[in-house]
Amino acid sequence: MCEMGKPIETIDVEPLNLPAPLRKEEKQPEPAVVPFEVPVSETILGGSMAKGAQTNARKDNNRGARAEAGHTLKGAGISGFREARRRTKLSLSNLRLARSTWGLLPSAVVRNLIRLTSSYGLSIAAGDLQLLDGKWYVTHSGLLGIAQRRHCAGIRADLLRDFSDSSLSHWVFKATVYKTCGSKGFVGYGDADPSNVSSMVRGAELRIAETRAVNRALRKAYGIGLCSVEELGAFSSQTRPSTIPSPSNGSHYSNGSGNGQPRLRDQLCLLIRQFNLDSNLVKAYAADFCGTKTLSEASRESIERFISQLSKSAKENRDALVCKLNAYSQHQEVTL
SS3 assignment, position 9 = coil
**Are 173 and 158 contacting, i.e. CB atoms less than 8 angstroms apart?**
yes
C-alpha angle 99-102-103 in degrees, rounded to nearest 5: 55
Is residue 38 over pLDDT 90?
A: no
Measure Cα distances from 302 to 85, 184, 251, 288, 326 in Å. Answer: 52, 54, 13, 11, 22
**Are 198 and 234 contacting, i.e. CB atoms less than 8 angstroms apart?**
yes
Q: What are 271-314's pLDDT values in tens digits?
A: 887 788 888 888 888 888 888 888 778 888 888 888 888 888 88
Which pLDDT does position 327 carry in this prediction?
A: 84
Which pLDDT does position 33 carry in this prediction?
A: 46
Cβ-in-10-Å burial (0-12, 13-18, 19+) of 286 comes to buried
* H helical segments located in 106-172: 107-120, 140-149
pLDDT top residue among 29 and 34? 29
Q: What are 115-161's pLDDT values in tens digits?
A: 999 899 999 999 999 998 889 999 999 999 999 999 999 999 999 99
Q: What is the DSSP letter of 229?
A: G
Q: What are phi and psi of 65, to 5 degrees?
A: -65, -40
The answer to whether the pTM exceeds 0.75 is no
Q: Is the dihedral of CA 274, 280, 285, 288 positive or negative?
A: positive
126 backbone φψ class: left, alpha, beta (φ>0; ψ -120 to 50): alpha
Of 34-43, 68-77, 132-141, 229-238, which range is least confident? 34-43
Q: What percent of the chain has pLDDT over 90?
A: 32
Instruction: Please list, in sequence order, all residues whose beta carbon lies within 8 angstroms of the beta carbon of residue 95, skipping any fewer than 6 positions away.
Output: 58, 61, 62, 65, 110, 113, 114
Which domains are present in the chain?
Answer: 51-125 (no CATH), 127-234 (3.30.160.20), 240-336 (no CATH)
Output the average pLDDT for the chain. Answer: 75
Q: How many C-beta neighbours within 10 Å does residue 167 have?
A: 5
Instruction: Please list, in sequence order, all residues whose beta carbon lies within 8 angstroms of the beta carbon of residue 201, skipping any fewer than 6 positions away.
Output: 208
Instruction: Please list, in sequence order, all residues whose beta carbon lies within 8 angstroms of the beta carbon of residue 64, skipping any fewer than 6 positions away.
Output: 40, 43, 110, 111, 114
SS3 assignment, position 137 = strand
Average pLDDT over residues 44-53: 44
**Are 88 and 61 contacting, i.e. CB atoms less than 8 angstroms apart?**
no
Instruction: Please list, in sequence order, all residues whose beta carbon lies within 8 angstroms of the beta carbon of residue 272, skipping any fewer than 6 positions away.
Output: 241, 242, 278, 279, 282
Highest-scoring range by mean pLDDT, 6-10, 322-326, 332-336: 322-326
Give me the count of residues in the chain: 336
Q: What are 169-198's pLDDT values in tens digits?
A: 899 999 999 999 989 999 999 999 888 888
